[in-house]
Amino acid sequence: MRVHMQVPHPGTEYGDIEDLRLQANLCRHTEVQALMDFHNANATMTPALLGIKVDIQGSDGCVPGGYIVFIVFEEVPGIRLADDQSAPYPGFPLHTFFRRFERKQRDVIREQFDKADRELAKIDWLLDEPWADHLVWDSNTSKLYFINFRMAHSACWLRRPQSVVLGGNVALATDVTLKQYNWELFGLAICPGNSKHEGNLSIWKL
């Protein structure tokens, strides 16, 4: 279960109740909307939403009249593909995806990632900080899950044909290049630093 609750603006935590009440707002947490959208779309690549309750705080709450949301969702089975959010660099220990799985299994995971990523975009959601710690792999069912949507945004930009931001510039990209770019973003492949987004996969760490 996760709880999203409005808290006072910094520096006003001990203010007058009536002043705090003026800060009351509706819940705008992306995770709440994302999980509801996944549920309505019968998505299977994200944790199932089991229950949600949207309420307002009472007079004894942190922000009287402010939002408080309770979310109950499935704990998906499997292994998270990274222990933290640290991207690999020369000399940095490889994360779980590379330590735990052999190349053949990594290829299978990337294949399932490509499928799940397309489904995610169809429901119009993308993670703001993509990395392997947002991915859980269940080897028993060969199923990949996306988790933790506390920071996410609309995926509508992906609907522009063959357009992707590479290195801060909008460039035309083939489906293969876009696929490699997403692998790198999520820590499922490592591109040599001196040949960023190089199309030759033979020099990548896969």
Q: Which amino acid type is present at position 130?
A: P
Rounded to an integer, what is the distance from CA 84 to the centroid of its chain? 13
With a CB cutoff of 8 Å and minimum separation 6, the contacts of 201 are 180, 189
For 132-146, write each residue's pLDDT tens digit.
Answer: 889 999 999 999 999
Backbone φ, ψ for residue 181 (5° rounding): -60, -45
Bridge partners of residue 204, in order along the sequence: none
For 6-63, write each residue's pLDDT tens digit.
Answer: 999 999 989 899 999 999 998 878 888 899 999 999 999 999 999 999 999 999 999 9
Q: Closest Cα to residue 193, out of 202, 206, 204, 177?
A: 204
Arithmetic mean of pLDDT, 151-155: 79
Q: Closest Cα to residue 4, out of 53, 50, 49?
A: 53
With a CB cutoff of 8 Å and minimum separation 6, the contacts of 53 are 69, 70
55 vs 95, residue with greater confidence: 55
- Are 5 and 62 a contacting pair, CB within 8 Å? yes
Arithmetic mean of pLDDT, 158-183: 55
Listed by start position, the domains of the chain span 2-73, 79-203
Arithmetic mean of pLDDT, 119-131: 86
User: CA-to-CA distance for 131 and 101, rounded, in angstroms?
Assistant: 17
Q: Provide the percentage of residues in the chain whose pLDDT is more than 70.
A: 81
Q: Closest Cα to residue 12, out of 3, 1, 25, 21?
A: 21
Tell me if residue 170 falls in helix, strand or coil: strand
Q: How many CB atoms lie within 10 A of CB 97?
A: 24
54 vs 157, residue with greater confidence: 54
**Residue 124 backbone class (left: φ over 0; alpha: ψ -120 to 50; beta: rest):** left
